[in-house]
Structure 1
Amino acid sequence: MSWFESFILGLVQGLTEFLPISSSAHLRLTAAFSGWEDPGAAFTAITQIGTEAAVLIYFRKDIARIISAWFRSLVDKRMRRDQDAKMGWLVIVGSIPIGVLGVTLKDQIEGPFRNLNLTATMLVVMGLVLGFADRMAARDETGGRHRAPQQRKTLNELSVKDGLTYGVCQAMALIPGVSRSGATISGGLLMGYTREAAARYSFLLAIPAVLASGLFELKDASEGGHVSWGPTIFATIIAFFVGYAVIAWFMKFITTKSFMPFVIYRVALGLLIFALVGFGVLSPHAGESGG
């Protein structure tokens, strides 16, 4: 991997990780459209450490409060009713599905799941799901001709059942094209949470899974020696700075705006990929690595 490739891929990772458009799909597509080799699941997982570092800094006060309350709840039963302590447990519970499936489906994630036809399908299908969920949220917020506005749930109302459902949605993002934030935000909206609550929990829930995946791939890559370390670290740094800016923008955007621009983009991109593969411009395996 060249330094130029790592710069572009780090930029793509930072720009797309927190938007509901699938960062893994965009890394895969960037390689395919450019004629580069697929950066692979290991590169994706390691560069995600950079974007998760941005999450840790952006939400540092929330995270410090949650960790402190969670540890205190281990020895003080009264603390177990504290909302921050509950959030710590809910993040752990919500991380179970992706942890189990990530290990179980490791070979599929690094192989068949990276087929462009599957990526295009997930872009379109999950885009439509996000659009439906967004319309439901908008209808509740504004009401209608014969219907008063409905109060949507906040994170203070998050239950173990809902936390686990969020976790299942997050696990779907093991398939490129799904989008971690897109799947979890859609799940949250469909369960009746506000846009801000769905996005905030989505970002917090991703921390254990992404860091664990990145560190696992880091160890595996160190032993296997199949990663270009200089360019990969450079891409991770780029992803951190760009990702932080995107989080700050996105959290402001969702308080007043609809997700529909992302829905339209996802569907259009998915249909474009189908067309390019169908007309033979791109192979469904374009840019795949040989390893």
Structure 2
Amino acid sequence: MSEAATWPETAQYVLTLDCPDSPGIVNQLSGALFNHGADIIDNRQFSDRQHLRPVPGTPEPDGHFFMRLHFSAPAGESTLAALRADLAPLAARHGMRWELRPHGARRRVLIMVSKFEHCLNDLLFRTRTGELPVEVVAVVSNHPDHQRLAEWHGIPFHHVPVTAATKPDAEARLLELVDELDVELVVLARYMQVLSDGLTRRLEGRAINIHHSFLPSFKGAKPYHQAYARGVKTVGATAHYVNSELDEGPIISQQVIEVDHTFGPEDLVAAGRDTECKALSNAVRWHCEGRVIVQGNRTIVLR
């Protein structure tokens, strides 16, 4: 290369997709990206055949294909638009669900919390240090306790009290904030209110909850007390997508820690705090990096 020549400016992108498996998908995707001068940086893919049960006397089913592709290409909105235009017919041909975003793009996140602050504090710290690719646009709580913490981080705080009589109005206010602030992800960081079926349907696939138990064990209220009563030897936490079934949404991340017979209920609660923070921050990061694909009542996490 001559001294006068320069390398073209590039940007990085992430393509996440899933579709019924068939031969040639990777080759076709690679070819489409190559036509735009793309260079693949990292690829995570998974072809799921194991859980499918073929009908006796019929060919084995092809399974399902999942992929997260991190690549560089010439920078500019025109490149992103051209990539989307060229990928659209390929996606339609294969029945793909897909998303293409600039790598590192920060998702707009709203955090909900009640009185326990450890998960909120952890998420705000990880956001402040750049560990999470998010922009926290608001903190919403049914208690006023954590207003100073949110505002110290420069984040608007909204106190939305909830009673049996005011719950419909409170949920309507939450949806107003989601729309007004262009929220992409709602995070329930120990928000101790059960969301209505209508609200969970509106937030399907874009609301993550932390449950202070290693689901599917010990659902509902006071799981650490349930665990103590059963003499557990480990306690943990589960981050999952919210759906209309209490604590039944697709699991994204779990953390566990060993305990023993000397741990009382309050000791289990204290031991579980770290697992809650880590499971929730992992789930938020993986979702925002385009690593999580929901398949039925489970997730594929391409790490």
**Structure 1 length normalisation: TM-score?**
0.22
Instruction: Give the TM-score normalised by the residue count of structure 2.
Output: 0.22
Greater helix percent: which structure?
Answer: 1
Structure with larger RCO (C-alpha < 8 A, sep 6+): 1
The structure carrying a bigger strand percent of its residues is 2
